[in-house]
């Protein structure tokens, strides 16, 4: 596959050249003041991206899955009850992790294509008179289906039930690309990774803990060593880690988070919304539909596009890779073979997206689908022409 073409998978995303160069640095002593000049500013930048004034930010040499593990092991104990909706592959994976750790998982089975049922959560939490549920787990943006859930509504449901459970949120494919308000939404642990909105290679789990979540650390009994944030706190106090950090990636994270903040978070979110709207216009022009069941749950970072019944959507992804050197995402889990995914997050522009839409059209025509060449491109172009004025600062 050509390194010259952008990728349109929902992560890892395209890496800006300035970020790639920031990761490419000489070895430095990670127990020296030099490392502290990376560590502390990058934690502050991430806190700003999370829109939090007080969150404690931890950056592990890991991935989003490691971030999930850090979230639950630092706050919960074996046998604790947690509430979660299964509405896609990544919520399913979080359920699996909780079960492996011996948690009592109350799963609300939810159709793939809709968001988290906040009203059902309120009902369950209200009925939990003994307050046995210790945490509510929520996937903000379900990458497998292109569905975004209303975390503010989940918090409102918890508040309406007057329930003290923690709110743990997977923001892996939303944070840094879509509006995320840790403080306003009462999120206790926010989890993301380096390879999505932060435009880096995979390799960092990025986790924000509220003061309430940190208060659970002393009583949490799930096993943890690598992900113990008490050890991280001790290391951070001395400009260091309890083990060897990924210094180059963290330097890249400092650069990429600077870029996001310099562009302005509202501009970042508007850019993602505009590009996503163009993709949705293209899908409509093709006469196809999204997995997302209604407009209010359509993701601004990934579109999961249903193909006609009986057609193997994986053929689109494989043909795009072999014939046109371009990467799209396959369907996962219950939707495997039923859809393909176009990622539109991270370092992306309108013009880059038009190349992806045009290539998807050529692929589908090659494979005999009833697609008119140029229809999706034209629909997206009209959307981009009518979009909001661009920021004068360089887009990420």
180 and 231 share one domain? yes
Instruction: Among 200, 231, 261, identify where a domain stops.
Output: 261
Contact criterion met (CB below 8 Å) for 193 and 205: yes
Distance CA 139, CA 2 (A): 33
CA–CA separation, 316 and 328 (whole Å): 8
Is 70 inside any structural domain?
yes
My answer on whether 257 and 269 are in the same domain is no
Whether residue 396 lies inside any domain: the answer is: no
Answer yes or no: do 232 and 136 share one domain.
Answer: yes
* Residue of 138, 140, 143, 115 whose CA lies nearest to 13: 143
Same domain, 175 and 198: yes
Walk along the chain (396 residues) and give the pLDDT tens digit of each residue.
567 899 999 999 999 999 999 999 999 999 888 999 999 999 999 999 999 999 999 999 999 999 999 999 999 999 999 999 999 999 999 999 999 999 999 999 999 999 999 999 999 999 999 999 999 999 999 999 999 999 999 999 999 999 999 999 999 999 999 999 999 999 999 999 999 999 999 999 999 999 999 999 999 999 999 999 999 999 999 999 999 999 999 999 999 999 999 999 999 999 999 999 999 999 999 999 999 999 999 999 999 999 999 999 999 999 999 999 999 999 999 999 999 999 999 999 999 999 999 999 999 999 999 999 999 999 999 999 966 555 545 444
What pLDDT was estimated at residue 304? 98
Cross-strand bridge partners of residue 67? none
Residues 123 and 103 occupy one common structural domain: yes
Whether residues 320 and 250 fall in one domain: no
Cis peptide before 287 (omega within 30 of 0): no
CA distances from 166 to 62, 187, 213, 252, 390 (A): 23, 8, 7, 31, 39
- CA 21-22-23 angle, to 5 degrees, is 90
Domain ends where: 229, 261, 293?
261
Instruction: For residues 160 and 292, state if they share a domain.
Output: no
Which of 236, 261, 286 is at the close of a domain?
261
The DSSP element (H or E) to which 169 belongs, if any, is strand 166-170
Distance of CA 20 to CAs 85, 224, 347, 392, Å? 37, 32, 12, 23
- Give residue for tokens 């371009």: 326
CA 196 to chain centre: 6
Domain extent, residue 166, equals 17-261
Dihedral angle computed from the Cα positions of residues 239, 241, 247 and 249, in that order, rounded to the nearest 10 degrees = -120
Rounded to an integer, what distance in angstroms lies between the CA atom of residue 359 and that of residue 272? 20
Residue 4 forms part of a structural domain: no
Token pair, residue 187, equals: 């999120």
3-state secondary structure of 345: coil
In a domain, 139, yes or no: yes
Residue 34, domain member (yes or no):
yes
Same domain, 238 and 300: no
Q: How far is Cα 113 from Cα 115, in angstroms, rounded to an integer? A: 7
Q: How far apart are CA 86 and CA 90, in angstroms?
A: 8
Q: Locate tokens 């909780």: which residue?
A: 98
Q: Is 339 domain-assigned?
A: yes
- The per-residue pLDDT for 16 is 97
Q: Do residues 223 and 344 share a domain?
A: no
Number of domains in the chain: 2
Q: What pLDDT, on the 0 to 100 scale, is given for residue 5?
A: 92
Same domain, 208 and 321: no
pLDDT the model gives residue 396: 40
CATH number at residue 85: 3.40.640.10
DSSP states along 280-335 = HHHHHHTT-EESSSSGGGB-SSEEEEEPPTT--THHHHHHHHHHH---BEEP-GGG
At 347, list the tokens. Answer: 């370092």
Q: Does residue 394 form part of some domain?
A: no
Query: Residues 160, 239: one domain?
Result: yes
**104: in domain:** yes
Residue 288 and residue 155 in one domain: no
| Alpha-carbon separation of residue 144 from 118, 292, 339, 347, 371 (angstroms) | 20, 10, 10, 20, 24
Percentages helix, strand, coil for the chain (3-state, rounded to 5) are 40, 15, 45
The tens digit of pLDDT for each residue in 99-145 reads 999 999 999 999 999 999 999 999 999 999 999 999 999 999 999 99
pLDDT of residue 392: 45
């Amino acid at each position: 596959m050509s390194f010259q073409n952008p990728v349109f998978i929902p992560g890892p995303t395209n890496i800006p050249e300035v970020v790639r160069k920031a990761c490419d640095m000489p070895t430095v002593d990670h127990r020296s003041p030099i490392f502290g000049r990376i560590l502390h500013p990058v934690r502050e930048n991430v806190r700003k991206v999370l829109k939090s004034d007080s969150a404690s930010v931890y950056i592990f040499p890991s991935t989003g899955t490691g971030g999930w593990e850090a979230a639950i092991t630092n706050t919960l104990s074996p046998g604790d009850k947690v509430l979660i909706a299964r509405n896609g592959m990544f919520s399913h994976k979080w359920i699996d992790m909780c079960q492996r750790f011996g948690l009592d998982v109350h799963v609300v089975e939810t159709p793939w294509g809709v968001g988290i049922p906040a009203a059902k959560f309120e009902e369950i939490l209200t009925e939990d008179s003994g307050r046995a549920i210790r945490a509510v787990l929520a996937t903000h943006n379900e990458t497998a289906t292109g569905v975004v859930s209303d975390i503010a509504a989940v918090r409102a449901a918890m508040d309406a039930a007057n329930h003290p459970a923690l709110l743990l949120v997977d923001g892996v494919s939303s944070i840094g690309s879509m509006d995320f308000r840790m403080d306003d939404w009462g999120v206790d642990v926010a989890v993301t990774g380096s390879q999505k909105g932060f435009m880096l290679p995979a390799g960092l789990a990025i986790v924000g803990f509220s003061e309430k979540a940190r208060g659970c650390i002393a009583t949490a009994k799930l096993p943890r060593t690598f992900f113990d944030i008490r050890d991280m706190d001790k290391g951070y106090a001395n400009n260091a880690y309890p083990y060897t950090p990924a210094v180059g990636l963290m330097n890249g994270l400092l650069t990429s988070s600077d870029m996001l903040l310099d562009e302005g978070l509202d501009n970042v979110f508007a850019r993602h919304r505009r590009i996503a709207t163009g993709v949705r216009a293209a899908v409509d022009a093709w006469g196809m539909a999204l997995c997302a069941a209604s407009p209010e749950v359509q993701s601004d970072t990934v579109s999961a596009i249903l193909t006609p019944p009986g057609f193997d959507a994986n053929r689109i992804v494989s043909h795009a890779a072999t014939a046109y050197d371009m990467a799209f995402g396959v369907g996962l889990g219950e939707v495997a073979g039923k859809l393909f995914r176009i990622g539109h997050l991270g370092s992306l522009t309108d013009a880059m997206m038009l190349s992806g839409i045009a290539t998807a059209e050529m692929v589908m025509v090659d494979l005999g689908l009833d697609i008119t060449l140029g229809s999706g491109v034209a629909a997206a172009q009209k959307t981009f022409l009518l979009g909001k004025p661009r920021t004068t600062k360089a887009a990420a």
